[in-house]
């Protein structure tokens, strides 16, 4: 009834050819380029290329961390479930502490969101880890504050792509300005989300293999 | 260190106030409006309002189906994990058949993608169900074809929001043109994804309670 492309390999090839033809990728280095392409692929928007920001030697740092079996810490279950386990080079643990038993009470006690409170439970895993924040601006703010004040160790890389109308843009601007020597990947502006965040992790995992 | 809004209720209120102020919602009916707002909220893009299309009496049909404990059939695990169980009015089953044992072999045999092959396993659950497609254009094409030819019963509603550069726009245009008397919600164009799809289901669930 419908005439459409059904072969997975052809679909991927045509998708990436369209991105190469339409997106402005000139400013990306050779190692950043495949990550940028996967971000664009995940959201179907070539214009998002202009919003992608890489900080520090993030590709090398993140791929080393993945090879060294460092965990991936996610702010949301959707991010966790978007990460493709079989791509990970060392069966890396993928953790989301949002629904841990005490985040609700802790959030109330701290006067913040459950997403921000859930970051506290990252303390034991964060050194050299990959951070994947694809939902909550408050999680990213809380993390930056904890690292800046030395309350938490430094991760290998922060993928910070929260989405929304309150704090998303501001938390990503804060990441760019205050990450210090922690490498990062982000998307400027309101857009972000679990799909682009998971796609970034998956792209890094492919590079790490 | 950072000055940002931490109270969840205030964050929601300010988010929705921003959407009301910036998005053009005039063309939506009273029952469509909260769904449109949640879609915009999930992606941080007020301009997506122009791409939202409702077909048939989709809000009434979908909320009735949810109250009647009909299942929600998802094309991707990210969609499934974006649906908030506690919002569902009747502990509705949320199914994703993508990683069922035989989808890979079935896809090869059928000469299509695994996402399209996974739709075949919906046959026993689809009558009166809610469909939530947030990833694969081939799943939406395959489903429309199966319904059109009477190989599958009719669902109560199709939420069809696949994303990407190959077939996404076309499959959603096909949904609008060939859904027949099956009500639907879609986003015209390349953009879509698991977050907006799950947000649509969650919005319908809130209306059904």
Residuewise pLDDT in 10s, chain B (209 residues):
899 999 999 999 999 999 999 999 999 999 999 999 999 999 999 999 999 999 999 999 999 999 999 999 999 999 999 999 999 999 999 999 999 988 999 999 999 999 999 999 999 999 999 999 999 999 999 999 999 999 999 999 999 999 999 999 999 999 999 999 999 999 999 999 999 999 999 999 999 99
pLDDT at A101 (0 to 100): 87
**Which chain B positions have a beta carbon within 8 Å of A113's beta carbon?**
6, 8, 11
User: In this complex, is the C-beta atom of B193 within 8 Å of any C-beta atom belonging to chain A?
Assistant: yes
Residue A67 reports pLDDT greater than 90:
yes
**Which chain A positions have a beta carbon within 8 Å of B149's beta carbon?**
1
Average pLDDT over residues A175-202: 98
**Which chain A positions have a beta carbon within 8 Å of B82's beta carbon?**
77-78, 194
| Catalytic machinery residues of A | 41
CB contact under 8 A, B193 and A43: yes
pLDDT at A88 (0 to 100): 98
**pLDDT tens digits for range A120-143:** 999 999 999 999 999 999 999 999
- Mutant choice from B38, B74, B85, B164 vs A, greatest count of A C-beta within 10 A: B164
Q: Which among A14, A167, A193 has the least Cβ separation from residue B43?
A: A193
Q: For A202-205, which contacts have Cβ atoms below 8 Å and span 24 or more sequence positions?
A: A202/A38, A202/A82, A202/A83, A202/A84, A202/A87, A203/A34, A203/A35, A203/A37, A203/A38, A203/A39, A204/A35, A204/A59, A204/A62, A204/A63, A204/A66, A204/A130, A204/A157, A205/A66, A205/A83, A205/A84, A205/A87, A205/A88, A205/A89
**pLDDT tens digits for range A41-61:** 999 999 999 999 999 999 999
**pLDDT tens digits for range A92-119:** 999 999 999 889 999 999 999 999 999 9
Residue A87 reports pLDDT greater than 90:
yes
What is the helix (H) or strand (E) element at residue A130, kind and residue range? strand A130-133
CB atoms under 10 Å from CB of B29, counted, come to 9
Nearest Cα residue in chain B from A110: B6
Residue A170 reports pLDDT greater than 90:
yes
- The DSSP 8-state label assigned to residue A188 in this structure reads -
Is the ipTM reported for this complex over the cut 0.90? yes
Q: What percent of chain B has pLDDT over 70?
A: 100
Residue A86 reports pLDDT greater than 90:
yes
**Which chain A positions have a beta carbon within 8 Å of B11's beta carbon?**
113, 138, 166-167
Give the gap in angstroms from C-alpha B65 to the nearest C-alpha of chain A: 25
A26 — pLDDT class (breaks 50, 70, 90): very high
Distances in Å between the Cα of A161 and the Cα atoms of A42, A171, A173 are: 13, 9, 11
pLDDT at B101 (0 to 100): 87
Would you tell me which residues 91-110 of chain B have a C-beta closer than 8 angstroms to some C-beta of chain A? Answer: none
The angle formed by the CA atoms of residues B44, A159 and B138, to the nearest 5 degrees, is 60
Q: Which among B11, B14, B170 has the least Cβ separation from residue A4?
A: B170
User: In this complex, is the C-beta atom of B86 within 8 Å of any C-beta atom belonging to chain A?
Assistant: no
Nearest to B34 by CA among B64, B56, B4, B54: B54
pLDDT at A1 (0 to 100): 85
- Kindly report the average pLDDT of chain A as a whole number: 97
Per-residue tokens: B13: 């209120």
């Amino acid at each position: 009834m419908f005439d459409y492309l059904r072969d997975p390999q052809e679909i991927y090839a045509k998708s990436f050819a369209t991105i190469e033809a339409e997106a402005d990728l000139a400013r990306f280095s050779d190692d950043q380029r495949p990550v940028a392409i996967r971000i664009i692929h995940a959201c179907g928007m070539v214009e998002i290329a202009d919003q992608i920001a890489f900080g520090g030697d993030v590709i090398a740092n993140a791929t080393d961390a993945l090879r060294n079996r460092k965990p991936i810490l996610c702010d949301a279950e959707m991010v966790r479930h978007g990460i493709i386990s079989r791509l990970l080079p060392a069966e890396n643990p993928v953790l989301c502490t949002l629904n841990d038993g005490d985040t609700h009470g802790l959030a109330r006690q701290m006067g913040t969101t459950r997403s921000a409170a859930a970051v506290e439970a990252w303390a034991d895993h964060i050194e050299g880890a990959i951070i994947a924040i694809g939902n909550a601006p408050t999680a990213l703010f809380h993390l930056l504050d904890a690292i800046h004040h030395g309350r938490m160790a430094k991760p290998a890389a922060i993928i910070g792509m929260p989405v929304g109308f309150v704090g998303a843009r501001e938390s990503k601007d804060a990441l760019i300005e205050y990450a210090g020597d922690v490498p990062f990947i982000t998307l400027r502006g309101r857009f972000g989300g679990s799909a682009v965040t998971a796609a970034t992790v998956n792209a890094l995992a492919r590079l790490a293999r």
